Amino acid sequence: MLEALPVRAPIAAPERLEILWTLAWAAGLLFLLRFVSIQVLQHAHYRELAEKNRTQVIAQSAPRGRIISADGQLIASSKPSFTLVYFPGSSAPPSYAERLASALSGPLGMKQEDLKSSLRRAVTRETPARIAENLSVSAMFAISELKNIYSGIDVITEARRHYPFGPYLSHLVGYMGKMDSREWARYGALGGYSFDSRVGKAGLEKMYEKELRGKSGGIFMEVDSRGRLSRILESRKWVPGADIKLTVDSAVQSAAEEGLRRSLSGRGAVVALDPRSGAILAFASSPGYDPNAFVSYSDEEFTGQAEKIPEFNIAAQGTYPPASIFKIISAAAFLESGRIDPAEKVFCPGYYDAGSRVFKCWEKKGHGRMDFIDGLANSCDVYYYVSGLRAGPLAIEKQARAFGVGRPTGIRLPDEKAGNLFGPTRRATRKSYWFVGDTLNLSIGQGETLVTPVQMAVMAAAVASRGVLWRPYYVDSVVSPDGKTLLSRSPEKNGEVRLRPETWDLIWRSLKKTVDEGTGRPSLIRGAEVYGKTGTAQNPHGEDHAWFAAFARIGEEAPRVAVAVLVEHGKSGSGSAGPIARQVMEAALRGVLPKNETPASAPSVGISTRPAAGAFPDEKEGEEN
């Protein structure tokens, strides 16, 4: 027989009530805790969400901070920009978007289908939408008239970046564009940015994005439960960004850019420094680009145009053989080695026979007998061949390293190149041989030595200051809209070239004679003392590159400007680079030159860098046969 299962006794009514009351109290407690969390602990968060659900915002971009030259010229500013905004209505029939698109296509110069798509998207999302940006004045007035016929459209005023002088100083200023996903990850968390915000893509615009960007304003609109516009709540005013004041002098910069533009190739770089501080007076790299071209592009157009930008900055990224301007460094090595008597003369027949090879001088007929000063003033290659062998390559390499060859100057620009320090030390580390011909090439700045224009400007400034290697800088200060200085730059030493006073004296005398009587005569400035050195670098890919490095002063005062000029394929330093350097130095000295010696033309007026044939003595670096 099956055993009967035990029967569970029924739960008493009082017990059931007790369980129900416990559950009720637990539910009430949970409800109370949730209420406290929402109303007290997370009140601000949920209030913000409620406000966002109740309002829509049309952001109005703030004016970016201005970029201003040392003499007060606006390099980058902002100007009014008009944006068409569409507010979808609650009762507009489906055909309304088609009629509105047809009416707007003419003034906007846009296809009707594109407009219809934007309008329908706004209706579907039931939120205001930007239909067109950067409207012309004529389009703005035409749309203002259409507002009386078609409801839901309005024109708001924003600030648009503007570069009054186009390509002027473009490699320092940079350009702007709509942010990409990587930039959104970087800036999005800072607040004040939307995914379609425009940000700095290069140069100052990128490096000082946080300072330049202001606080955007906007139109705050109340919407109903379905997201439709109910009324405009308020319009908040923007706050402009901070201004950047540069060390660049607009007249000096104009002289540099105009000189490059009118040069033989239109390609090259000019860097001018104040040798008393390292402040950059001019920084020109050609070809440049017009940053205005990227202000109004859509994402697709910007991407296509950005690929065509000549972003390669010749002044800081281009590396070239320094040619005869390197003879300044070699001259210092000769004198400091103690193996060269500056009064001793070396005979130049126009070539140097090194045994298995013959090295030519640029002057085919020879210079005759040359001492130290004449050797530098006339850029005699044979003098430097003989002296280089006497002093030795290690002495030259040592001085090149002291002058900063082979390392970046420290200028705040991306991807600055270090060049190449050529000498026996590196060959030894690579367990390679050093030949006599290497010493001869090293002496005249050929071979494997490579430098950038900004390095040579620092070298010229070091000679002008008798040994101080400055870190070049171009931002003087960053100033907030209320006039407070947020950032101020000051001169910074990068090193020092220690030479005997008599060595500096001889180098200065030689560079002065180079300009007064030698290959540097095209850089003469009446009323000023100019010290300089020409160079013409061999180029296996075409015409030779032209160099000129110089500095200038008034009377016995400290030099006020040092400059390095490179003209790609310029053929000769004397004919192509020298006149540009003269114009740049004249502009830098314009306030202190004697009145009767001040150039009649403004510094920004173009100059000719094509002297008549045979007008000036020229040099072409020695080459191997």
Q: How many CB atoms lie within 10 A of CB 594?
A: 11
User: What does residue 176 show for φ and ψ, rounded to 5 degrees?
Assistant: -120, 160
Q: How far apart are CA 444 and CA 436, in angstroms?
A: 13
Distance (Å, whole) CA 481 – CA 128: 31
Instruction: Please name the amino acid found at residue 320.
Output: Y
Burial class (CB in 10 A: 0-12, 13-18, 19+), 308: exposed
Q: Could you tell me which of 285, 167, 378, 379 has the C-alpha nearest to residue 567?
A: 285
Sorted by where each begins, the domain ranges of the chain are 56-90+116-246, 250-597
3-state secondary structure of 269: strand
Q: What confidence score (pLDDT) does residue 623 get?
A: 39
State residue 195's pLDDT score: 66
Q: 240 preceded by cis ω (within 30°)? A: no
Give dist(CA 46, CA 38) in Å, integer: 7
**Please, are residues 168 and 253 in contact by the beta-carbon 8 Å criterion?**
yes
Task: Say which residue the tokens 């402009």 belong to.
Answer: 240
Closest CA to 11 of 22, 19, 21: 19
Give burial (CB, 10 Å; 0-12/13-18/19+) of 475: buried
**Which architecture, in CATH terms, is 250-597?**
3-Layer(aba) Sandwich (3.40)
Token look-up 């560079």 returns: 511
Report d(CA 269, CA 253) in Å as an integer.
11
Task: Return the bridge partners of 351, or none.
Answer: 360
CA dihedral sign of residues 376, 379, 383, 386: positive
98 exposure class (CB count in 10 Å sphere: 0-12, 13-18, 19+): middle
Cβ-contact 246, 474 below 8 angstroms: yes
pLDDT digits (tens, 9 = 90+) for 580-608: 999 999 999 998 888 765 553 333 333 33
Report yes or no: 296 and 134 within 8 Å, Cβ to Cβ: yes
**Cβ contact 484:503 at 8 Å:** no
What letter represents residue 268's amino acid?
G
Query: Dihedral, CA atoms, 46, 51, 53, 59, nearest 10 degrees?
Result: -130
- In the prediction, which pLDDT does 536 show? 92
- Helices 327-337 and 436-443, packing angle to 10 deg: 110
- β-pair type (67-68, 55-60): unpaired
Neighbours of 108 (CB within 10 A): 19
Q: What angle do CA 463, 570, 287 make, to 5 degrees?
A: 90
Residues in the chain predicted with pLDDT less than 70, given as ranges, are: 1-15, 35-60, 89-92, 94, 125-127, 194-196, 218-235, 296-310, 596-625
Length of the chain: 625
Q: What is the 3-state secondary structure (H, E, C) of 161-209?
A: EECCCCCCCHHHHCCEEECCHHHHHHHHHHCCCCCCCEEECCHHHHHCH
Q: How far apart are CA 61 and CA 179, in angstroms?
A: 14
pTM equals 0.79
Correct CATH for 56-90+116-246 of 3.90.1310.10, 3.40.50.261, 3.40.367.20, 3.10.450.50: 3.90.1310.10
Q: Is 396:330 a contact under the CB 8 Å cutoff?
A: yes
Could you tell me if 290 and 170 are in contact, meaning their C-beta atoms sit under 8 angstroms apart? yes
Residue 182 near residue 199, CB atoms below 8 Å: no
Supply the pLDDT for residue 45.
55
Closest CA to 381 of 582, 146, 547, 620: 620
Query: What's the first-to-final CA gap in the chain, in angstroms?
Result: 125
CA 395 to chain centre: 36
DSSP state of 41: I
